[in-house]
Structure formats: structure tokens, C-alpha cells
Amino acid sequence: MQISKLFEQKSPVLSFEVFPPKKESPIETIYQTLDELHDLSPDFISVTYSAGGSGGNHLTCDIASAIKNKYGILPIAHLTCVSADKEQISAELDRLKENGVENILALRGDINPNVPRKYDFAHASDLTAFIKERGGFSVSGACYPEGHYESENLIEDILHLKKKVDAGAEHLISQLFFDNDLFYSFLERARIAGISVPIEAGIMPVVNKKQIERMVSLCGASLPQKFVKMINRYEHNPEALRDAGIAYAVDQIVDLIANGVDGIHLYTMNNPYIARKICESIGALRQTNV
């Protein structure tokens, strides 16, 4: 099934993101995580694209295939192009197709000064167009409620997003954010620009201070004052900060669902406990909106 078709059947859609295990971790760890996430009945699970996995980038395809064939859940495989040429991307697409994975999240990827960059695909919109031209896949894209860090302003950011959708992106997943008002403002800009595809809100439960510092440094998400107070208040009490982070994420999700969001994409960080606590808190909301 194509991811975009899910949004015609139910609202809100609930999805998870997982990532391949790091080199020092055995592959079995991700399947232990998926065993638990499966019980939470997500509508789909995305798998990040990372050369840092114990099996390299092939692991993304292997995990996505297992999500579909072992767990019976719709998978979406991340695919980045910043360090790949058309031949390499074609090989990745062939591998995904052979494994029955038909949904792709097309991304440019972060520029790494230690990895040679290739220029067959300058932007995610170029990768999206290439995949659509080949056919056989449903393509999703990323969006940025506060604007991509390389965009000069929010208007330019929306114009780039519109180009991505015009190239064939059928569904969008947002970067993490901690202020729902920023997401609602972004959503309004997107709809005014004629972007009508489903847009999922990306939510990351923060469970430790180092995690949020690392994520903010990577994506530039702003931190509301009440969020900063929460982090500072509980930073030396790991259990309390974990529970506070879960509660903050639940509060965001409740508000988003009440405002008719298309879907919630939960960045699980491969932590089933946190995903379970959140799903338990919003279970009735999901049933009401089906």
C-alpha cells in the first residue's frame, strides 16, 4: 500500500521512526525493538538511512523488508542522495523493489565534510523526481516547521517545499518541533502555497539533556520557555526528566489531534518504553478519530 492512501482511510495516522543499530550493536537489537513496537499498532514505520549501521546502508532495506514481511506493518525506507550518483541510487531502488518495499522518504541528507559529495542530485526534489520517473514507488518528503537551516527565510523554504511536492512527494513528515504554534503557522503557509498533501507532525520525546542539545545543534529547533524550564528542573533526575519529556510530548500530541492534524510521526529513538507510554496516553484519542 502507498503511504499516502493511509490518510484517505483514517485520521490521525500514527507512525514511528526507527534507525539501524550502530556498528557496536548486534542486529538483533532492532528486532527486539520492533517486537515491542508492533504491539502498539502503528500505521507505518520508517527506517532511517545510515552508513553507521552494523550492515551499512543495506541494513535500511533489510529492516524495512522485515517490518513488512515479518511484522505485517507498512514500511517506509529513508533514502539520501548527497553522497550518491544516479547509478548508486538506481541500485538502492532495485534492492528496495526486490524486497517489496514500495514507500520511500526521499532526502538530500546532511553534508559531511569527511564524505565526498556528489552532485547528480542537488536537492531532495531532484531525487524525488528521479524516483517518480522510474516508477514503482510512492515518495514522501521532509518539511521544516521553522524552515530548513539553509533557507534564507520562511518564504524561500516554502517555495522549495512546493517544488518537492510538484516533483512527486505525496506525503510530508515534519522535522521535530517543541512549539505547536510554529507548526500551525507552517501548516498555514504550506496550504496557502498550494501544498495539499498530508503533513505529519514529527514529535520527539526528550528524555535527557544531552539528547536535546545534540538534536537542536543538528536541526536548529527552538525551545519554548516552559520546555527549557522542564529540562533545567529535572536534568539531574533521569527518571523524572524521562517522565516529564513523555508528558510534554503527550501534551503536544493531544493539542495536535484536537486541531485536526493529519498524523503524528513519533521519533522513537528505538525506545519502545517511551513509545508505549505515549500510545497508552493517547489511545482513546486515536479510536475517536478513526
Q: What's the start-to-end Cα distance of the chain, in Å?
A: 18
Give the active site residue among 8, 17, 102, 239.
17
Residue 75: strand pairing partners: 45
CB 60 within 8 Å of CB 49: yes
Q: Tally Cβ neighbours within 10 Å of residue 56.
A: 12
Known catalytic membership, residue 17? yes
Closest of 10, 21, 20 to residue 44, by C-alpha: 10
Angle between helices 238-258 and 180-192 (to 10 degrees): 30
CB 87 within 8 Å of CB 121: no
CB 18 within 8 Å of CB 272: no
Query: CA 88, CA 210: separation in Å to the nearest integer?
Result: 35
b/e sequence 11-24, b meaning 16+ C-beta within 10 Å: bbbbbbbbbbbeee
C-alpha separations of 264 from 97, 202, 203, 226 in Å: 27, 6, 7, 22
CB 81 within 8 Å of CB 109: yes
Hey, what long-range contacts does 184-191 have (CB within 8 A, 24 or more apart)? 184/259, 185/145, 186/143, 186/144, 186/145, 186/146, 186/154, 189/154, 189/158, 190/143, 190/158, 190/161
Catalytic residues: 17
